[in-house]
Amino acid sequence: MEAGHDELRRLAPEALLDVAAARTSSVLDMITTGAAEVGFCQLHGMETGIVSHSSFRGSVVCVLPSEHPLAHRDELSAQDLAGQPLITFPNAELTGRRVMMAFSRAGVMPNIVLHVSQTLQALNLVAVGRGLALVDSYFGKSLARASTATLPDNYRGLTVVPFNPTIQIDLHMITSASRPLSYLAEIYVDTLLSRYQVDPLQS
């Protein structure tokens, strides 16, 4: 997002980038109705009326306080997290469903204490001691290396540990299939494709 914003500011200093955080269903609605030109979300593969220009690969990670007994582990499994207070996405979100499936397959009942709609909400809750978070890795400093997420500087008291088994996530950059992009939206999309050197996808 930062790369696209930087290019917009360079070419159109007076342009305003309006960022709205929403659940996947709302992102799809905003794109198909024209309320937004560019969106980022996971796709189930059966969506209509949208075009996927690229996919950024990430994964589910566990975020926990650095002093937590599990923070030194190279990876954490459902068994490791049994009984721990967990913060994650609801079943309405694809990531939330996949997390629950991983626990079910491991025969572990997760102790979910909070559901969130955004990863940064979960990080804030972990930072104030509300639990451990199972979230996507896109809060890292580089989408191109999302699987090795690094926490932003203001979360230095937290640690990121990969979740095992790996739950891969593909975050799609989408636009409407029926509405042409504005000049500024085209700049935004092209900048991200160029910056992260990903191959365009069509869906």
Residue 25 CA: distances (Å) to CA of 44, 139, 153: 11, 21, 31
Cβ–Cβ < 8 Å for 51, 203: yes
More confident residue, 48 or 23: 48
Domain with CATH 3.40.190.10 in the chain: 2-56+170-195, 58-168
Mean pLDDT of the residues in the chain: 86
The predicted-structure confidence for 143-198, as pLDDT tens digits, reads as follows 333 344 566 666 778 999 999 999 999 989 999 999 999 988 998 888 888 876 55
Out of 14-23, 72-81, 194-203, pick the least confident: 194-203
What does the alpha-carbon distance between residue 160 and residue 60 come to, in Å, rounded to a whole number?
10
Q: What confidence score (pLDDT) does residue 109 get?
A: 97
User: 2-56+170-195 is classed in which CATH architecture?
Assistant: 3-Layer(aba) Sandwich (3.40)
Backbone angles phi, psi at 127, to 5 degrees: -60, -25
User: What average pLDDT score do residues 61-69 get?
Assistant: 95
The predicted-structure confidence for 26-46, as pLDDT tens digits, reads as follows 999 999 999 999 999 989 888
What does the alpha-carbon distance between residue 42 and residue 16 come to, in Å, rounded to a whole number?
25
Cβ–Cβ < 8 Å for 41, 28: yes
Q: 57 has which bridge partners?
A: 170
Percentage of residues in the chain having pLDDT higher than 70: 86
Triad 27, 29, 34: Cα angle to 5°: 100
Q: What confidence score (pLDDT) does residue 108 get?
A: 97
Percentage of residues in the chain having pLDDT higher than 90: 56
User: 58-168 is classed in which CATH architecture?
Assistant: 3-Layer(aba) Sandwich (3.40)
Residue 101 CA: distances (Å) to CA of 44, 104, 107, 110, 173: 16, 5, 10, 10, 26
Cis preceding linkage at 110, omega within 30: no
